[in-house]
Amino acid sequence: MNKIMNIITKLIIMISVLGAFVLQYFSAHKMGMARHMFYMNQKLSKIISLSNVETVIFIVTLIIFVASVAIFIWKKPKLNIVDKGLFAVISILIANELLFLNVDYTVAFYFKCILFLLALFSQSIYILFRCMHKE
């Protein structure tokens, strides 16, 4: 079970992070993709105000991050260096995105944030899972 969970979360993380960088690259290098991202931002803005998207992502990220760190401290899950490192890298990626970048810098900003958040969420779920299934 541990192995399956490990594979699934790593796959989700890989696809999310890779997807974020692919979005970043093509929206900066291909006109069609850039305009498509503008269009997606417009669609997103019809669901939720874009000024609120960043705040929502920031709060959710903070909650997941704090919860994961709390689990680390109290439950002390048996995690190898790769899992700990992955958690740190994803946290840095999303922090960099939220603190230093914005939609004016990269039109794919919101979708990159969502993908990084998905990666962080997946890794946190895996950490929680390891706490519940200590072997």
Partner 1 sequence: MNKKIISVFMCGLLLMGSLVGCGGNTTIEDKADVNTEAKGEGTEQTEKSENEVKINEALAVEKTKVYVSPEWLNSVINNEQNESKDFAILECGWGKEEIAEDYKNGHVPGAMHMNTDNIESPEKWDLRSGEEMEKLMLDFGITKDTTVICYSSKGLSSADDRVAFAMLWAGVENVKVLDGGLEAWNAKEFALETTSNKGEAVESFGVTVPAHPEYILDTEQIKEKLKNDDNFKLVSIRSWAEFVGETSGYSYIDRAGEPEGAIWGHDTDDGSYADENGNTVDTDVLAKYLAESDVTLENELSFYCGTGWRAAVPFLLCYEEGMTNISMYDDGWFVYQNDGANSVQLGDPKSDEFEITTVEVLSTDKSRK
Judged by the rule CB under 8 A, the positions of this chain that interact with partner 1 are 28-29, 31-36, 38-39
Assess contact for 10 and 98: CB atoms under 8 A: no
Closest contact distance (angstroms) between CB of 36 and partner 1 is: 5
Q: Is 81 exposed, middle or buried (0-12, 13-18, 19+ CB in 10 A)?
A: exposed
Q: CB-wise, 38 or 58, nearer to partner 1? A: 38
Closest contact distance (angstroms) between CB of 97 and partner 1 is: 21
Which residues are CB-neighbours of 110 under 8 A, at least 6 positions away? 41, 44, 50, 53, 54, 57, 103
Q: CB-wise, 3 or 46, nearer to partner 1? A: 46
Q: At 10, list the tokens.
A: 């790593």
Closest contact distance (angstroms) between CB of 130 and partner 1 is: 41
Closest contact distance (angstroms) between CB of 56 and partner 1 is: 23
Assess contact for 48 and 56: CB atoms under 8 A: yes
Q: CB-wise, 12 or 34, nearer to partner 1? A: 34
Q: CB-wise, 104 or 135, nearer to partner 1? A: 104
Taking every pair of C-alpha atoms in the chain, what is the biggest distance, in angstroms? 51
